[in-house]
Amino acid sequence: MAPIQTKMMNAINSVAKEKGLAYVLDLGAGAVIYHAGGEDISAASKS
């Protein structure tokens, strides 16, 4: 990752943890850019 991207991701992770967020979404890219773990329900939701 480029240095500016690394700084940005570190800042996002820090703020998300500080605020107790479970997810941070990048709506422009349609991606999750931060997640605090949790249970993967992929297999259960495919049935």
Residue 11 sits at the vertex; the CA angle it makes with 9 and 12, to the nearest 5 degrees, is 65
- 8 — pLDDT class (breaks 50, 70, 90): very high
Where along the chain do its domains lie?
3-45
The confidence score (pLDDT) of residue 13 equals: 94
The confidence score (pLDDT) of residue 40 equals: 75
Q: Residue 28: helix, strand or coil by DSSP?
A: coil
Q: Residue 24: helix, strand or coil by DSSP?
A: strand
Q: Residue 34: helix, strand or coil by DSSP?
A: strand
pTM: 0.68
Burial 10-41 (b: 16+ CB within 10 A, else e): eeeeeebeeeeeeebeeeeeeeeebeeeeeee
The confidence score (pLDDT) of residue 47 equals: 66
Quick one: average pLDDT of 39-45? 80
